[in-house]
Chains A and B, each alone.
Chain A
């Protein structure tokens, strides 16, 4: 039986296990929308801006581990996806973005709403396709999903000419893909694994740096076994948070610019570093030439192009983290490293970065900590970018993978709200908190309408300091407090929420924090809390930009237990 291109696309999506599509209609893609009602298995979530569709698909993918799907029309619909696609690319998130293109006969003629979206997204997709012929459509979808979720995951864009949606063809879905140029290495090289094991077994001060690759390959048990067998302290990158229980005695927090001082000191003192599924981003390493000066570095990553890209590596192992660690664990002998672990513990006592000082006003750190306490650490936290993100990383403890969802690589303000929508739709049984800044929240605030229309029960905490806080912090520390373009007037967020039919509260005092969070949790649907916090609170500790990790700025402050 012949089917239209739109039907073939829907059938193919169902074959790939797609259940939810985030999108926004338009002229070129109207034929796909016209076909959607025939497929009740495909739930469509109407966003208010295509960027929201891409971020929601991203949040959905991170929360569920499945491929996120977003769709948009040609021209501005497609270009509005760009930030969301780049965000997924930088954080290795499996995503398939589908855009409609003007008819094949009009391509290259500057037709209405025509844009070269495959050209535009070339450097921000793992791969992309322009489909001009219905005969290739099913194969392209098959390949796209395979590429998105395998190897190092990433976004794939499929641009489909309008006439392909109406053309007719038989539907055959291939069981296998034929991509001669794409063969990710999964098993690590045995000789390299042997070398790594020798290095670990001989190390006096070994340290594991775990990244998002551990989460992607679900190598939690293997990581745990390696850490416990040889008593190796574990620190994580921002995106690695949750891959190792943060309450584990061998867990020493996050490294990097706003990482824990003791984690950064450990990097500096270590004699062997086992870096797993991380890419030595400059926010994590500080000054690269001074990174881990005493350590031999073992780098485990599935992407060969990451090896030696940023730091020198002594033992590279290309492969899937789970498989490599499994092989490595067979060769690593049990060890104690008592003095080393004690040293890290001492550093942690001397530099208690997660303590919150006593204050008159409402501190943002205090808000995050209370959300942790009320949710018992079981929520999925989706953050914005900047101060709110760093406080959420520092003052909430994550014991489950994918419980912190954050834009790491691209640092996209405005990710939080649509990202949280995607996470909640993917995990309806989980509590999802969106931690936003008052700046980033206004970038995608229109998605409150999506929340209202789809009744997405996201809990929103706005950390409202009246500034673009992280930039203000840099102006404070490095530009003599010249606050240029960072003071920020926002709307009355509670009234805005109310206008969308979403209940909300404003909180200004410490004693109101817990009752407000409890009220949000009791509410069946979405809820917004506007926390008016200390306006000029800075994020500490802080490593000076591009300085070595040991140049940590800590504010002299009175520590109290909370």
Chain B
């Protein structure tokens, strides 16, 4: 399977340990996070998404495994939404 770079953008509730929960999904799948960026949505001036945190993660993987990771991330109760914006 071909490995490509994916950018996953996740919106999370600002709850303790949520980043740990996300990192755990990558750890179990043996995924290497190439870069990760975390920012409160309030800081980017988005009033439609109050009290949410936006996490942008760059990973490499096949389309199907990244899709699985995306689904596992969305399964986390405090994760509101995950999008794969570049494949």
Report A's interface with B, CB cutoff 8 A.
118-119, 122-123, 126-127, 130, 147, 179-182, 303-305, 307-309
Contact = CB atoms under 8 A, between A and B. Distances in A.
A126 B72 contact: no
24 contacts: A119-B20, A122-B17, A122-B20, A122-B21, A122-B24, A123-B24, A123-B28, A126-B77, A127-B78, A147-B77, A179-B77, A180-B13, A180-B80, A181-B13, A181-B76, A181-B78, A181-B79, A181-B80, A303-B75, A304-B71, A304-B74, A304-B75, A308-B67, A309-B68
Interface in B48-85: 64, 67-68, 71-72, 74-81
A303 B71 CA distance: 9
A122 to B, nearest CB: 6
B80 A308 contact: no
Contacts of B75: 303-305
Contacts of B77: 126-127, 147, 179, 181-182
In this complex, the member of A181, A304, A305 whose beta carbon has the largest number of chain B beta carbons within 10 angstroms is: A181
A244 B70 CA distance: 34
A309 B70 CA distance: 12
A305 B24 contact: no
A120 to B, nearest CB: 12
A151 to B, nearest CB: 10
B68 A308 contact: yes
Contacts of A304: 71, 74-75
Nearest to A318: B71
A119 B24 CA distance: 11
B8 interface: no
Contacts of B28: 123
Given A126-B77, A181-B76, A118 B17 contact: yes
B9 interface: no
A181 B12 contact: yes
B71 A305 contact: yes
Contacts of A130: 16-17
Nearest to B20: A122
Contacts of A303: 75
Leading 6 A-B pairs by shortest Cβ distance? A305-B71, A181-B80, A127-B77, A182-B77, A305-B75, A180-B80
Interface string B28-56: 10000000000000000000000000000
A182 B77 CA distance: 5
Nearest to B17: A118
Nearest to A182: B77
A481 to B, nearest CB: 37
B12 A305 contact: no
Contacts of B80: 180-181
Contacts of A179: 77
Contacts of B79: 181
Contacts of B72: 305
Contacts of A308: 64, 67-68
Nearest to A147: B77
A308 B62 CA distance: 14
A182 B18 CA distance: 14
Given A180-B13, A181-B80, 10 more contacts: A119-B20, A123-B28, A126-B77, A179-B77, A181-B78, A304-B71, A305-B68, A305-B71, A305-B74, A305-B75
A517 to B, nearest CB: 45
A181 B17 CA distance: 15
